[in-house]
Every structure is written in C-alpha cells, then in structure tokens.
C-alpha cells in the first residue's frame, strides 16, 4: 500500500508523461502519447482463435475459430473461450512490465482488459472471475499480485463475482522471461495449482485472469485443475500474449477489438496514422 501511495504522490507532483515511453503528454493526450497509441493499435490487431488463443492469420480462422477448435469440443485441458488485449510487444509490453514492477498504470490496463472482454464472445456467461495466482514468496517480494488487481478491476466493472480459489503450490518461472522447451515447460507446470474451495466453482462457468500468456501452458494447467475440481467451463482473459512461433504476422482481427481499444483514446485520428 505504501508503494502505491508513493507512486500516486509522484504522479501528482510531476508532469504527466506517456505510460510507455515517458515523453511529456500533450494537451488532450490520455495515458499515452500519440505514437504509443498508434503502436498500441498495431499490437491490438493480432488475430487469434477465440477458443484456444493461438495466433493465426485471419484467413486461417473461420467464425474466429482455428481448424483444430472447429473440429472438436473442448477437453479437460482446453479453454472454452479466449480473449486478450493484444500482442506482448511495444507499448502493451512496456506498460505491462511497469505495472508488474511498480504497481502502476492499473487503471489503464483495467480499461484495456475490460474493452477486450466487451469484444469477446463469453464475458456475459462468466459466473466467477479467478486470478492466476502467484506463489506466496513472489507476492511478498512484489508487495502485490498483479493478476489479482486486474481480476478485481474486471469484476468490479462487470459487477461480477471474484473468487481467488486457485493456489500456486510451488514456485514456477515467469515463462515470458526465460527460454524453455515446451516439454520442459509442461513438466515444470504440471500439478502446480490447487483449488482451495471446489464447492464454489462446481458446475460454474469461470474465467481465469492473467497478465501475459506465452504458450498458454500455465493457463492450460490451471484450466485442467479447475475442470477436474468441477468447473463446467473455463474461459481465459489475458492482457497480452506472445505470438505463436509459426505465426508472426499481426493482422487485423475481424471481431473489432481494435475498435474497442480506439474508444479509450482521446483523438480519433490517431489510429489512422
């Protein structure tokens, strides 16, 4: 709480600067400078499957689903829906990192996350919102849990039910910060989560809230844990995701998420530059 008060005081006595690049904001700018809003639009234009979250060129998605997800119903490790603000690059990456290090820009990220959920197919079906947990050692070191704060912002805006029923039983690395093979990642994450109150989620549609998804291994393990404990459906909402290795292209999504992001910025002409 003290670090948050210091950040607030610092913001109050220094001139407003861009949340991503520290340039002084011009009159009418909100949170970000002109160039960072433009780059944020680009990052928010990735197209991905609305069920598994894999990035694909829009021509490889039919009704927003990849061919794998269209061919089968979700299994016990599969998400029932996926939503993200954009690619983990540019201003979105910078603001997310600053948020996780300094407990700041939560209002901006909460707005972005809620805007992406507004454009999702499942937000109105969610009974319970659940943050991906941090290990207690990491929580103490940081002084706060970023995903819990994001989940709180989402649940408040939507008047939803926030229940942090997932617990991390052991420390796992932040996969977007390290290089690790998929099989090693799977071994590291297996059995890392536990549900503290299974009766709370029994038969419910729940949504996991995360900050950065790399391959989705952490989210799939959490999904598996929740479904095994009785959750009927598990959706996922995350701030950013790293593009799939075979699909580096970031092309406009057909669902209009970029337009949702545009509604948050003050100058309508910025997105066209």
Closest CA to 208 of 112, 85, 126, 144: 126
Structure tokens at 81: 């829906």
Determine the Cα–Cα distance for residues 55 and 71; give it in Å rounded to an integer. Answer: 17
Strand residue runs (E) in the chain: 81-87, 128-131, 161-162, 166-168, 193-195, 205-213, 233-241
C-beta closer to Zn ion: residue 39 or 152: 39
CB of 132 to Zn ion, least distance (A): 20
Give the bridge partners for 224, in sequence order: none
**Are the beta carbons of 53 and 84 closer than 8 angstroms?**
yes
CB of 125 to Zn ion, least distance (A): 18
CB of 131 to Zn ion, least distance (A): 24
CB of 162 to Zn ion, least distance (A): 27
How far is C-alpha 261 from the chain's CA centre?
14
CB of 43 to Zn ion, least distance (A): 13
- Helical segments of 14-89, H only: 34-43, 67-71
**Are the beta carbons of 55 and 48 closer than 8 angstroms?**
yes
Structure tokens at 96: 């997310």
C-beta closer to Zn ion: residue 107 or 197: 107
Classify burial at 220, counting beta carbons within 10 Å of its beta carbon; exposed 0-12, middle 13-18, buried 19 or more. buried
Determine the Cα–Cα distance for residues 235 and 245; give it in Å rounded to an integer. Answer: 23
C-beta closer to Zn ion: residue 36 or 192: 36
CB of 195 to Zn ion, least distance (A): 25
Q: Answer left, alpha or beta for residue 209, where phi above 0 means left and psi between -120 and 50 means alpha.
A: beta
C-beta closer to Zn ion: residue 21 or 180: 21
CB of 91 to Zn ion, least distance (A): 7
C-beta closer to Zn ion: residue 66 or 148: 66
CB of 53 to Zn ion, least distance (A): 7
C-beta closer to Zn ion: residue 1 or 71: 71
Determine the Cα–Cα distance for residues 57 and 248; give it in Å rounded to an integer. Answer: 9
**What is the contact surface with Zn ion in residues (CB under 5 A)?**
18, 20-21, 23, 33, 36, 49, 51-52, 66, 69
C-beta closer to Zn ion: residue 146 or 216: 216
C-beta closer to Zn ion: residue 48 or 134: 48
């Amino acid at each position: 709480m003290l670090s948050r008060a210091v950040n607030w005081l610092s913001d109050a006595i220094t001139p407003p600067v861009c949340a991503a690049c520290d340039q002084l904001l011009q009159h009418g700018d909100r949170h970000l400078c002109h160039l960072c809003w433009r780059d944020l639009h680009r990052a928010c234009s990735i197209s991905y499957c609305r069920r598994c979250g894999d990035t694909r060129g829009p021509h490889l998605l039919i009704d927003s689903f990849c061919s794998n997800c269209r061919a089968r119903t979700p299994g016990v490790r599969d998400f029932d829906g996926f939503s993200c603000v954009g690619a983990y690059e540019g201003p979105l990456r910078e603001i997310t990192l600053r948020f996780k290090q300094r407990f700041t820009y939560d209002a901006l990220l909460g707005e972005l996350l809620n805007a992406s959920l507004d454009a999702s197919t499942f937000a109105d079906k969610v009974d319970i919102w659940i943050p991906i947990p941090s290990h207690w050692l990491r929580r103490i070191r940081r002084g706060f849990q970023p995903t819990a704060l994001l989940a709180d912002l989402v649940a408040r805006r939507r008047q939803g039910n926030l229940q942090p029923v997932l617990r991390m039983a052991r420390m796992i690395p932040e996969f977007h910060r390290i290089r690790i093979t998929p099989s090693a990642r799977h071994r590291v994450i297996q059995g890392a989560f536990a549900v503290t109150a299974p009766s709370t989620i029994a038969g419910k549609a729940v949504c996991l809230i995360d900050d950065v998804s790399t391959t989705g291994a952490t989210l799939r393990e959490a999904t598996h844990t929740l479904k095994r404990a009785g959750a009927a459906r598990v959706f996922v909402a995350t701030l950013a995701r790293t593009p799939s290795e075979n699909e580096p292209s970031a092309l406009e999504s057909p669902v209009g998420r970029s337009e949702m992001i545009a509604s948050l910025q003050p100058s309508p002409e910025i997105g066209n530059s």
